[in-house]
Chains A and B, each alone.
Chain A
């Protein structure tokens, strides 16, 4: 299994790590050996930009000013589409004046006049902003530039690549497939709202990072990659995925990737997503047991190649470990940790990458963002809204103020009640229980009440709500007849986030022309 391979690699890796360290110390950034104390003043230095597609370049020579011994170089790109640069993790903004159509200019610190460094520049030239990795070479003598360039092209020094603290480098001969160590990072997907995942590009391969886990995606038809670092799992484009999370399924069907899903963690009758229901009815998708007690036999007999689990699996780590032991990579999606609703939705781009439907995913996402952004730009209304349900033992379950639903309400122009009771954002929980009296005190003047129908089903009438507690009769929203409940399919249909925001906005502004999709009026 892959685990065994990785174990073998580990053993040789540790031994050779020492040699690597030695090399790192010796080669380093060349300037460190030859660094002399620079005198303050202005200098002229020749600079070359390497990497990316090769079409971009940087004006040479460039001016360098030294203040207090620290050198700063002014870099002017050949295009005006770069909005920021990343050097050593620090962001530098474009200094050019937009109206005058100047090329993107940045002032960055450098280690002396003869130096090389890796940078990242974000280009807005394409439809979606894109980060590209480049390599800059500075030399005082122009002739040295060419030589330095050749050296760089020839031998990629390992220390130039980002070294993450716990990655164990290995140099063992590749046994089938492309050696990972020969791959260069060529860019990355820049995300608009999502914070819980990252995608970096290594040529055709994509490095997906979620939390502590990394996956290298090998698209259809490409060669496998060997010599991966220990924490990276190789992933071929999945054709028979096991999807546990209902919200993921909805995103997948939006990018038309359901054909690549073979196993589901939800029974047919529990699906609201019609496409999933149909697939199960047709036998294209099979039920493989609950997430905490999956039917391992079925999973491996169907040759499942990827399991997409949600954070609930962290309570049952043995299931994840068992699946991995059986050779099935497990991707734990953390969309529930996203605080911005559009961030949650942006995970569709990850699935787009995973299933080779990047274009569709990006297009869909833009569409949704386009729906929401106009609303976001509008002025906030003065409407207050509460989103809750009553639990079986009489307390009220509300969203925490940092939760994505609360965010959606804010984006739609309203404010969420109850207000921050005690903000402990470190907690990954998104809901909390409160006493009925507290809820009454905080939300009785809410303009609009929205009842969460996921647990018990939709509310038929306001009387049902009053039956739960007579206090509800006192609520302003009840008196004014502005009580709504979510539809049963709301939580499963993650793609409907934008529509939901539209619904919220319509309800807040009293726009009766908009047909509500995920909210129902409760009379």
Chain B
């Protein structure tokens, strides 16, 4: 037990150190170069150089915070779903959340903007959120009636297909510019985050993560299988609903503010489990949140800087970076076990 505890402490220490490093790296990098000393001054509130101050406070910092929060949200969502389904490739979008969001965003773009009615950015956020919640509502309805949880994955996949089909149908009637924009939206981006978005995000994400943390005990019972969990006093029906709700709201948040970002939710729980060598929710929920934050921010930094001023889409970066890592891990695990 002692060895385990030491490992946990070291792992979290490592994550915090990486977090600090990656935040500093992101604050310092961008198309305008500022010295470390300048940045330090600005962070302490020196408004002297208005432009630099704006760059740091209005452009870089909101973006950094958004990447941290949303990356953490995705990872926690992925962890919850992987535990719930006992499936290592379950991710935040396995229940069809991003497809639902994409559908409503597509309809919004085509219907409103096609008629020349302008929407504010909150309108787009609301549209994506609505789509996610509709998908989630549908899944919840099914989950109440169905006892075999693998049916839910099927349900999620079906929703994904239906939403994609309807989206394609709408796209047929759309102008080329709308299609381009929809494609761009579905790649996901942290560009142009404002403090208002960050505030709202923070409330939703931190709330979701805290509630998940408080559910650590029933989730760890659930890891023993439904039968034993019930025997230990867990209210399975309620837990199911809560897990679906939480993971959906977390991933809906991400989809609404930044578009769908792939693979982070699937990969990070595996990475954190490998690091801490445990699957205890009490440790993994904060671990995934922080780990996901670090990784997403890192990827966003790369997306921003490698080909500046052109931005690579964040989903490409996460996929390219994380897929090999997870593959290597899974192979190692295979060799190790059995």
Contacts and interface: CB of A to CB of B under 8 A. Distances in A.
A523 interface: no
A427 interface: yes
A319 B194 CA distance: 10
B31 interface: yes
B123 A316 contact: no
A297 B31 CA distance: 6
Contacts of B191: 292-294, 319
B181 A315 contact: yes
A326 B193 CA distance: 12
B114 A428 contact: yes
B48 interface: no
B116 A295 contact: no
B35 interface: no
Nearest to B49: A301
Contacts of A431: 175-176
A322 B51 CA distance: 15
A428 B111 CA distance: 11
B118 A301 contact: no
B309 A322 contact: no
Contacts of B54: 300, 326-327
B124 to A, nearest CB: 6
Interface string A426-468: 1111110100000000000000000000000000000000000
A430 B181 CA distance: 17
A221 B32 CA distance: 31
A292 B194 contact: no
A350 interface: no
A317 B194 CA distance: 12
Give the size range of B's interface with the partner.
Answer: 35 or more
B116 A296 contact: no
Contacts of A366: none
B308 interface: yes
A209 B118 CA distance: 16
Nearest to B312: A293
Contacts of B194: 318, 321-322, 325
B51 A298 contact: no
Given A317-B120, A317-B124, A300 B59 contact: yes
A315 B121 contact: no
A314 B55 CA distance: 24
Contacts of A319: 191-192
A387 interface: no
Given A301-B55, A426-B115, A427-B114, A293 B189 contact: yes
Given A292-B184, A314-B118, A318-B124, A301 B51 contact: yes
A289 interface: yes
A312 B184 CA distance: 12
A286 to B, nearest CB: 9
B21 interface: no
Contact of A317 (B30, B55, B118, B309): B118
A288 interface: yes
A316 B184 CA distance: 10
Given A314-B118, A322-B192, A298 B32 contact: yes
A514 interface: no
A47 B32 CA distance: 65
A184 interface: no
Nearest to B109: A315
B310 interface: yes
A267 to B, nearest CB: 9
B178 interface: yes
Nearest to A287: B309
B256 to A, nearest CB: 11
Contacts of B121: 317-318, 321
A222 to B, nearest CB: 24
Interface string B91-115: 0000000000000000001000111
A318 B192 contact: yes
Nearest to B110: A429
Contacts of B32: 297-298, 301
Interface in B108-141: 109, 113-116, 118-121, 123-124
Given A318-B192, A322-B192, A295 B309 contact: yes
Contacts of A433: 172
Contact of B116 (A317, A318, A327, A337): A337
A303 interface: yes
Interface string B10-37: 0000000000000000000011100000
Given A314-B113, A315-B113, A298 B309 contact: yes
A295 B308 contact: yes
A295 B59 CA distance: 10
23 contacts: A212-B118, A289-B309, A290-B310, A292-B181, A292-B184, A293-B189, A293-B310, A297-B55, A298-B32, A301-B52, A301-B55, A315-B113, A315-B178, A316-B181, A316-B192, A317-B119, A318-B121, A318-B124, A327-B54, A427-B114, A428-B116, A430-B175, A431-B175
Interface of A: 212, 287-290, 292-298, 300-301, 303, 312, 314-319, 321-322, 325-327, 337, 397, 426-431, 433
What are the 5 A-B residue pairs with the smallest beta carbon separation, nearest first? A318-B121, A295-B309, A315-B181, A322-B192, A429-B175
Interface of B: 30-32, 51-52, 54-55, 58-60, 109, 113-116, 118-121, 123-124, 172, 175-178, 181, 184, 189, 191-194, 197, 308-311
Given A317-B118, A326-B54, A433-B172, 12 more contacts: A289-B309, A293-B191, A294-B309, A295-B309, A297-B59, A297-B60, A301-B52, A315-B181, A317-B123, A318-B124, A321-B120, A325-B58
